[in-house]
Amino acid sequence: MENNGVESALNVFEKQLNKPLITALEACARCGICAESCHYYVSEPSLKHVPASRAEQLRKIYRKKYNLLGKLFPKIFGAKELDEKTLEELSEIAFSECTLCRRCTFNCPLGVDTPLIMKTLRAMAVAGGKAPEMLVMLADSAIEKGKNPEFFKELFLQQIKELEKELQKIVGDPEAKIPVGKKGARVLYVALAGAHTIIPPAIIFHAVREDWTLSLYEAANYGVFLGDTERAKLIAKRIIDEAKELGVQEVVIAECGHACAALVWEAPNWFKEKFPFRMRNIVELIAEYVEKGLLKFDKSKNSEPITYHDSCNLARTSGIFREPRIVLNAVAENFIEMKPHGIENYCCGGGGGLVALPEYEEKRLKAGKPKAEQIRKTGAKIVCAACENCRLQINDLNSHYNLNVKVVSLAELVVNAIVLESKKKVKEEKTEERVSLR
Of 83, 110, 131, which marks where a domain is finished?
131
Give the pLDDT confidence of 136-195 residue by residue, as tens digits: 999 999 999 888 888 889 999 999 999 999 999 999 999 999 999 999 999 999 999 999
Say if 26 falls within a structural domain.
yes
pLDDT, averaged across the chain: 93
Q: Is the domain of 37 the same as that of 161? A: no
Closest residue by Cα to residue 116 from 223, 17, 257: 17
Say if 83 falls within a structural domain.
yes
CATH number at residue 397: 3.40.50
Q: Is the domain of 196 the same as that of 85? A: no
Sheet of strand 335-336: strand arrangement: 335-336, 306-309, 382-385, 406-408
Say if 438 falls within a structural domain.
no
Q: Is the domain of 260 the same as that of 120? A: no
Q: Is the domain of 153 the same as that of 273? A: yes
Query: What total of structural domains would you count in the chain?
Result: 3
Q: Is the domain of 73 the same as that of 87? A: yes
Q: Is the domain of 190 the same as that of 321? A: no
pLDDT band at 433 (very low <50, low <70, confident <90, very high): very low
Which pLDDT score, from 0 to 100, does residue 103 have? Answer: 96
pLDDT band at 75 (very low <50, low <70, confident <90, very high): confident
* CA distances to 143, 223, 271, 373 from 233, in Å: 10, 8, 8, 37
Say if 30 falls within a structural domain.
yes
Give the pLDDT confidence of 215-259 residue by residue, as tens digits: 999 999 999 999 999 999 999 999 999 999 999 999 999 999 999
Which pLDDT score, from 0 to 100, does residue 68 have? Answer: 76
Q: Is the domain of 117 the same as that of 201? A: no
Query: What torsion, rounded to 10 degrees, do the Cα atoms 405, 403, 321, 37 define?
Result: -170
State the greatest distance between any 2 C-alpha atoms of the chain, in Å, as a whole number.
Answer: 83
How far is it, in rounded angstroms, from Cα 405 to Cα 309? Answer: 13
Say if 352 falls within a structural domain.
yes
Give the pLDDT confidence of 375-424 residue by residue, as tens digits: 999 999 999 999 999 999 999 999 999 999 999 999 999 999 999 976 54
Average pLDDT over residues 127-136: 95
Say if 358 falls within a structural domain.
yes
Q: Is the domain of 339 the same as that of 313? A: yes
Q: Indicate whether 70 pLDDT > 80.
A: no
Say if 331 falls within a structural domain.
yes
Which pLDDT score, from 0 to 100, does residue 78 have? Answer: 82
Domain of 289 in residue numbering reads as 137-294+421-430
Which pLDDT score, from 0 to 100, does residue 146 have? Answer: 87
Q: Is the domain of 72 the same as that of 208? A: no
Please name the residues in contact with 360: beta carbons below 8 A apart, sequence gap of 6 or more. Answer: 95, 96, 354
State whether residue 217 is helix, strand or coil: coil
Which one-letter amino acid corresponds to residue 343?
I
How far is it, in rounded angstroms, from Cα 13 to Cα 147? Answer: 29
Average pLDDT over residues 97-119: 95
pTM (2 d.p.):
0.92
How far is it, in rounded angstroms, from Cα 257 to Cα 255? Answer: 7
Q: Is the domain of 272 the same as that of 386? A: no
Is residue 383 within 8 Å of 116, Cβ to Cβ? no
How far is it, in rounded angstroms, from Cα 117 to Cα 107? Answer: 16
Q: Give the count of beta carbons closer than 10 Å to the beta carbon of residue 64.
A: 17
Say if 204 falls within a structural domain.
yes
Q: Indicate whether 436 pLDDT > 60.
A: no
**C-alpha Rg value of the chain to the nearest Å:** 23
Q: Tell me the three-class secondary structure of 339-377, residue by residue.
A: CCCHHHCCCCCCCCCHHHCHHHHHHHHHHCHHHHHHHHH
Q: Is the domain of 51 the same as that of 63? A: yes
Which pLDDT score, from 0 to 100, does residue 432 have? Answer: 53
Average pLDDT over residues 426-431: 49
Q: Is the domain of 123 the same as that of 176? A: no
Contacts 24+ apart (CB under 8 A), 9-12: 9/82, 9/87, 9/124, 9/125, 9/127, 9/128, 10/65, 10/82, 10/124, 11/127, 12/120, 12/123, 12/124, 12/126, 12/127
